[in-house]
Amino acid sequence: MTDVVVVGAGVIGLTCAMRLRRAGARVTVVTADDSAETVSRVAAAVWYPTHTDGDPRVLGWASRTLDEFTEQAGHAAPGVVLRPTRMLLRTSPGSPPWWAPAVPDFRQAPAAEVPSGYAGEWRFTVPTVDMGPYLEWLLRQLAAGGVAVLRRRLDRLADVADLAPVVVNATGLASGGLAADPAVHPARGQIVLVENPGLVTSVRDEQNPAGITYVHPRGADVVLGGTFERDVRGTEPDRDEGAAILRRCAALVPELADARVLAHLVGLRPARHGGARVAVDPVGLPGGRRLVHSYGHGGAGVTLSWGCADEVVELSGVVPVG
């Protein structure tokens, strides 16, 4: 017997399943694709609420997620590392960003320490997540908790209504069709992976007029980016764009000039006009089944994942199993 079916096995679906199971619910995950084939696997996966509106609800999701990753890093969860970050600003920084209250060590760099050509710099420490080992770890945790993962491609969310009284829709970009939501759209992202020459600090220049620029070290590699192209669906890497990313990142962090390229990757972020939808569906599914949505996180899926999962548990209305 299953209390909740979670549809989707990206980072949003797996964290929802984890929180529901820990709350005592019996959970089954249904997914069309293996987790390694989801857009979560391609994500740069650094805590940062990119392209996200700063309302109190989103700040709460981001804050709870940061707390969870910080705890996981302390317990050596695979792929999770806290890294210092430098955000270089080309316009006057003014007030701290809306998300600053979530970050304990957020600070503005003294003017004398800001590199020439920039108007300011923010410094903070946040998690980076190597999504390959992390997704595998989540799956192992779920398996240990008795959560089954079923491979099944759905035409309608109603196709799983007979499996449990509650269905959680965490299907990302597919929610445009499955939830009949025209606000859902892709935001194409291209990154380049290079060998790590010894970097430990993430560096961002998001206001670069030549294009978004970020350098995120992991263990053996560094994620270089990037693009955020709304309503573009192609997943074949653009070699010219890749070369441009390499030039921008090497100009930002000169140690990357001779780094060996490992891969050019593209993912379609599941964006949504109006922001993420985390809510109970007012219609539900056949048989009076409750339908809870959690999709449309765009490029902030990792950043909001655990906070949204906490809210999904509340919205599910599932009575914990004794």
CATH number, domain containing residue 211: 3.30.9.10
Residue 160 lies in a domain: yes
Give domain status of residue 182, yes or no.
Answer: yes
pLDDT along the chain (322 residues), means of 10: 95 98 97 83 88 93 98 97 97 93 97 96 97 96 97 96 97 98 97 97 97 95 96 95 98 97 96 97 96 97 98 87 42
Note whether residue 285 is domain-resident.
yes
Total number of domains in the chain: 1
Q: What is the amino acid identity at position 160? A: V
The pLDDT value recorded for residue 164 is 97
CA–CA separation, 81 vs 122, rounded Å? 20
pLDDT for residue 322: 41
14 occurs within a structural domain:
yes
Q: Is residue 189 part of a domain?
A: yes
- HEC letters along the chain: CCCEEEECCCHHHHHHHHHHHHCCCCEEEEECCCHHHCHHHCCCCECCCCCCCCCHHHHHHHHHHHHHHHHHHHCCCCCEEEEEEEEEECCCCCCCCCCHHHCCCCEECCHHHCCCCCCEEEEEEEEEECHHHHHHHHHHHHHHCCCEEEECCCCCHHHHCCCCCEEEECCHHHHHHHCCCCCEEEEEEEEEEEECCCCCCEEEECCCCCCCEEEEECCCEEEEECCCEECCCCCCCCHHHHHHHHHHHHHHCHHHCCCCEEEEEEEEEEEECCCCEEEECCCCEHHHEEEEEEECCHHHHHHHHHHHHHHHHHHHCCCCCC
Q: Phi and psi at residue 121, in whole multiples of 5°?
A: -155, 130
At 199-209, the pLDDT tens digits run 999 999 999 99
* 238, part of any domain: yes
What residue type is 7 in one-letter code? V
Instruction: Assess contact for 121 and 109: CB atoms under 8 A.
Output: yes
pLDDT of residue 130: 94
How far apart are alpha carbons 306 and 30 in whole angstroms? 19
Other Cβ atoms closer than 10 A to 56: 8
Residues 23 and 96: their CA atoms lie apart, in Å, by 36
103, two tokens: 């970050």
Half-sphere exposure in the Cβ direction for 191 (13 Å, CA): 23
Q: Inter-axis angle of helices 11-22 and 301-316, to 10 degrees?
A: 40
**pTM score of the predicted model:** 0.95
* Residues with Cβ within 8 Å of residue 298, at least 6 apart in sequence: 50, 51, 52, 187, 269, 270, 271, 272, 276
Distance CA 316, CA 306 (A): 15
Residue 246 and residue 244: Cα distance in Å, rounded?
5
- Output the pLDDT for position 319: 58
The answer to whether residue 322 is domain-embedded is: no
Residues of the domain holding 126: 4-316
Q: Is position 132 within any domain? A: yes
Q: What is the pLDDT of residue 321?
A: 42
298: left (phi over 0), alpha (psi -120 to 50) or beta: left
CA angle, 311 as apex, 308 and 315 as ends, to 5°?
135
pLDDT in tens, 7-42: 999 999 999 999 999 999 999 999 998 877 787 888
